[in-house]
């Protein structure tokens, strides 16, 4: 399957931190030498998914999937192998052969440089005399200069080509400034003009803290009030969260994220000590953004104004619960929301009518804000309220029965068992029914809703490899000495009955000096990659390599000779049937030699050769 050279693949493999890569989708916790988490490829409640950073592989003991960084990306993002290679190479800043000399990688680097230059230029302007008006505005909004600097706030001065002039001095071509979204090409004549003019700029940075886009706020009555960078090769709307680079550590440390809507809300929250705050760059949160948060925490808190809260929260919750229509939960928890685990829990903190986090913090201060967060209620609770309320406002037994059914249906869709249990208690109290009764109904419905989610298909059901074969391949993978001693004796088609093990040995034979983990890209089937990963993660500290090699040497030699003996027996039978005396005698001599060797090897007594032959057939022809 490898169409890229091993050297390139090894280079990418060593540049990719598999813990970081997998950690974007799975919450990993340190466990011994490796990391553990809930498998993203099958639904489970206790973690059996492991990542081994030293070997650069992952493996799930639950469903058997496994592989290296390429395999993970292929499975997770449903990519072909070349696509996975390109994606990882891009992420690691490695130029692939077809791209060297001005391909995508180079372009991206160039745009990052343009954005960095622009961000520095804009930031400098804010603190110069020309920035007086912008600084005065920040002061009226109560933004500390220190916070403004930390967030890299800037000012785009007036004029049509101020930035273009700066870029020219830096030797940046006009088309690169346009490609970075900082200038706009003129319609009818050559040339371009600055996109941001006379605006306060909020720098949007990626997780590594590199500027990739800007949000520009107008002063006074200029329209539009907010002007953002267009999508560029560096910036895709909905993929980033504002201040995620600054908030990441606090989010991890506090195991929660605060999600606000505006840039200033975000700045003010940080200024008041809520360093775990990020802002959506747009009105709605996207699955990609929630997926990003899920890498770092279990809980995300949204803020709604009390007037709008019920409606907004219920709408958001319904999106979450509707797997069709690209519901959020499916993206957040790709193992399938229905029985999923490890999903991000969304909670809603209510602010008084007319308030947003910025105005509330300035009016009431941090402790009051913390109280609101502490009192936050599950987003799904709002959906529950809506489910219970009768659409026609009816009361009475029939309306109650309808409410019960709707509540049960909603609860059936909640992936997080703990949250579902809490919600069913809440619903039961409101409906005046027994919580257990509601729970049982929801469980029944869940079973009928459950269907195999597309992305949660476990590895193709694998027959378990026979232990002896498994031990042999394990030894070959872990000890280079074993390869030299045993590969010449081993006949895959005869000694190994398990197809994935055969494929692994064939790959090893093709590149006997390769580190075992690098064989991953040589294997054609996902099943084989899963088996290889399983063997690679299995440490056997007590294994005596020397002794094991000798044992397998004897075993393989014996089966080799048994096969020869079997062939000779067949030849004798045929010769006897044909009445050819001379060749029978010769064949018998050969058979005796082979048998003697076999007995010598096994140390056994001469017993029925047929019986032993039968034993070897089992592993040979399965």
Residue with smaller CB distance to Zn ion, 39 or 266: 39
SS3 content of the chain, % helix, strand, coil (to 5): 55, 10, 30
Cα 545 to Cα 117, 535, 553, 622, distances in angstroms: 57, 16, 12, 28
**Buried b vs exposed e over 68-88: b needs ≥16 C-beta within 10 Å?**
bbbbbbbbbeebebeebbbbb
Specify the stretch interacting with Zn ion by CB under 5 A; choose among 33-41, 192-200, 347-355, 602-610: 33-41
Q: Which is nearer to Zn ion, 47 or 216 (CB)?
A: 47
Beta carbon nearer to Zn ion, 60 or 562: 60
Does residue number 39 form part of the binding site for Zn ion (CB under 5 A)?
yes
CB closer to Zn ion out of 42 and 316 = 42
| Residue 271 near residue 144 (C-beta atoms within 8 A) | yes
The least CB distance from residue 522 to Zn ion, in Å, is 23
Helix (H, G, I), strand (E, B) or coil at 303: strand
- Smallest distance from Zn ion to CB 85, Å: 24
Complex with Zn ion: residue 59 or 386, whichever CB lies closer? 59
608 CB burial (10 A radius; 0-12, 13-18, 19+)? exposed
Q: Which stretch binds Zn ion (CB under 5 A): 59-67, 102-110, 402-410, 523-531?
A: 59-67
The DSSP annotation for 410-445 comes to HHHT---HHHHHHHHHHHHHHHTS-HHHHHHHHHHH
Q: Which two tokens stand for residue 539?
A: 């440490």
CB of 418 to Zn ion, least distance (A): 21
Cα distance between residue 65 and residue 58, in whole Å = 8
- Taking contact as CB under 5 A, which single stretch among the options 63-71, 338-346, 469-477, 580-588 is the one that binds Zn ion? 63-71
Check residue 240 for interaction with Zn ion (CB under 5 A). Answer: no
The contacts of residue 513 (CB under 8 Å, 6+ apart) are 480
Among 63, 94, 156, 384, indicate the residue that binds Zn ion (CB under 5 A): 63
Q: Alpha-carbon distance 1 to 82, whole Å?
A: 9
37 vs 181, which CB is nearer to Zn ion?
37
Residue 377: phi, psi to the nearest 5? -115, 155
Distances (CA, A) of 156 to 120, 161, 185, 203, 221: 11, 11, 18, 11, 16
Question: What are the residues whose beta carbons fall under 8 Å from the beta carbon of 12, sequence distance 6 or more?
Answer: 69, 70, 85, 88, 89, 92, 94
- Cα–Cα distance between 592 and 37 in angstroms, integer? 58
The only residue of 36, 42, 217, 566 in contact with Zn ion, by rule CB under 5 A: 42
Rounded to a whole number of angstroms, the minimum distance from the CB of residue 36 to Zn ion is 12
Q: Contacts with Zn ion: how many residues (CB under 5 A)?
A: 6
Interatomic CA distance for residues 356 and 369, integer angstroms: 11
- Closest to Zn ion by CB, 64 vs 105, is 64
Closer to Zn ion by Cβ: residue 42 or 199: 42
Among 21, 38, 60, 532, interactor with Zn ion by CB under 5 A: 60
Q: Which is nearer to Zn ion, 455 or 602 (CB)?
A: 455
Stretch that binds Zn ion, among 40-48, 159-167, 194-202, 517-525 (CB under 5 A): 40-48
Q: Judged by CB, which is closer to Zn ion: 62, or 567?
A: 62
We find the least distance from the C-beta atom of residue 429 to Zn ion, in angstroms, to be 37
Q: How far is the CB of 572 from Zn ion (least distance, A)?
A: 52
Q: Does 62 bind Zn ion (CB under 5 A)?
A: yes
Min CB(340)–Zn ion separation in Å? 13
529 binds Zn ion (CB under 5 A): no
Residue pointed to by tokens 């069709």: 324
CB of residue 77 vs Zn ion: minimum separation in angstroms? 17
Tokens of residue 528, six digits: 């084989």
Stretch that binds Zn ion, among 58-66, 202-210, 319-327, 570-578 (CB under 5 A): 58-66
Closest approach of Zn ion to the CB of residue 65, in Å: 5
* Min separation Cβ 58 and Zn ion, Å: 10
> Min. distance of Cβ 533 from Zn ion in angstroms?
11
Class of residue 98 by CB neighbours under 10 A (exposed 0-12, middle 13-18, buried 19+): exposed
Q: How far is the CB of 64 from Zn ion (least distance, A)?
A: 7
Stretch that binds Zn ion, among 31-39, 84-92, 129-137, 152-160 (CB under 5 A): 31-39
Residue closer to Zn ion, measured from CB, 216 or 415: 415
74 lines the binding site for Zn ion (CB under 5 A) = no
Residue 28 near Zn ion by CB under 5 A: no
| R_g of the chain computed on alpha carbons | 33
C-alpha pair distances (Å), 526 with each of 448, 498, 556:
30, 14, 28
Q: Which is nearer to Zn ion, 60 or 473 (CB)?
A: 60
Q: Which is nearer to Zn ion, 21 or 164 (CB)?
A: 21
CA dihedral sign, ordered 513, 516, 521, 525? positive
Instruction: Answer for the pair 154, 201: CB distance below 8 angstroms, yes or no.
Output: yes
Residues 536-565 that bind Zn ion (CB under 5 A): none
Decide: helix, strand or coil at residue 158.
Answer: coil
Per CB under 5 A, residues contacting Zn ion are 39, 41-42, 60, 62-63
């Amino acid at each position: 399957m490898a169409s890229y050279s091993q050297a390139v693949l090894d280079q990418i493999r060593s540049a990719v931190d598999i813990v970081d890569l997998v950690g974007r989708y799975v919450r990993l916790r340190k466990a011994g030498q490796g990391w553990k988490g809930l498998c993203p490829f099958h639904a489970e409640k206790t973690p059996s998914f492991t990542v081994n950073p030293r070997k650069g592989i992952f493996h799930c003991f639950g469903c058997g999937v496994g592989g290296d960084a390429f395999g993970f990306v292929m499975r997770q993002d449903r990519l072909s192998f070349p696509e996975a290679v390109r994606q990882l190479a891009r992420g690691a800043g490695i130029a692939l052969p077809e791209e060297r000399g001005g391909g995508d990688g180079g372009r991206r680097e160039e745009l990052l440089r343009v954005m960095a230059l622009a961000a520095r230029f804009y930031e400098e302007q804010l603190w110069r005399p020309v920035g007086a008006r912008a600084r005065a505005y920040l002061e009226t909004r109560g933004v500390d200069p220190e916070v403004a600097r930390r967030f890299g706030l800037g000012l785009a001065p007036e004029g049509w080509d101020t930035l273009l002039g700066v870029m020219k001095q830096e030797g940046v071509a006009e088309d690169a400034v346009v490609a970075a979204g900082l200038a706009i090409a003129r319609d009818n004549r050559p040339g371009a003009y600055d996109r941001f003019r006379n605006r306060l700029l909020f720098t949007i940075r990626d997780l590594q803290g590199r500027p990739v886009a800007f949000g520009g706020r107008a002063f006074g009555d200029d329209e539009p009030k907010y002007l953002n960078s267009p999508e560029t090769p560096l910036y895709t709307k909905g993929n980033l969260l504002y201040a995620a680079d600054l908030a990441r550590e606090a989010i991890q440390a506090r195991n929660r994220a605060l999600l606000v809507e505006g840039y200033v809300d975000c700045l003010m929250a940080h200024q008041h000590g809520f360093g775990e705050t990020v802002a959506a760059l747009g009105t709605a949160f996207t699955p990609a953004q929630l997926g990003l948060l899920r890498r770092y925490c279990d809980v995300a808190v949204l803020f709604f104004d009390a007037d709008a809260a019920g409606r907004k929260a219920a709408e958001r919750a319904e999106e979450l619960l509707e797997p069709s229509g690209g519901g959020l939960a499916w993206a957040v928890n790709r193992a399938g929301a229905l029985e999923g685990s490890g999903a991000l829990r969304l909670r809603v903190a209510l602010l008084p009518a007319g308030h947003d986090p910025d105005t509330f913090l300035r009016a009431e201060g941090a402790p009051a804000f913390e109280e609101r967060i502490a009192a936050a209620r599950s987003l799904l609770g709002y959906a529950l309220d809506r489910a219970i309320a009768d659409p026609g406002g009816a009361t009475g037994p029939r309306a109650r029965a309808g409410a019960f059914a709707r509540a049960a249906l909603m609860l059936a869709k909640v992936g997080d068992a703990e949250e579902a249990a809490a919600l069913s208690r809440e619903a039961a109290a409101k409906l005046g029914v027994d919580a257990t009764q509601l729970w049982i109904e929801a469980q029944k419905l869940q079973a009928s809703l459950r269907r195999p989610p597309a992305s949660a298909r476990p590895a193709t059901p694998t027959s378990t490899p026979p232990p002896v074969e498994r031990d042999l391949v394990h030894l070959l993978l872990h000890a280079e000495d074993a390869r030299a001693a045993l590969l010449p004796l081993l006949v895959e088609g005869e000694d190994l009955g398990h197809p994935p093990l055969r494929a692994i040995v064939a790959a090893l034979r093709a590149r006997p000096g390769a580190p075992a983990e690098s064989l991953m890209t040589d294997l054609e089937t996902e099943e084989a990659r899963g088996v290889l990963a399983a063997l690679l993660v299995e440490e056997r500290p007590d294994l005596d390599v020397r002794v094991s090699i000798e044992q397998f040497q004897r075993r393989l030699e014996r089966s080799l000779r048994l096969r020869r003996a079997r062939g000779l027996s067949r030849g004798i039978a045929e010769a006897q049937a044909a009445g050819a005396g001379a060749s029978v005698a010769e064949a018998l001599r050969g058979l005796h030699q082979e048998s003697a060797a076999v007995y010598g090897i096994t140390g056994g007594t001469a017993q029925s050769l047929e019986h032993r032959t039968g034993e070897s057939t089992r592993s040979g022809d399965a």
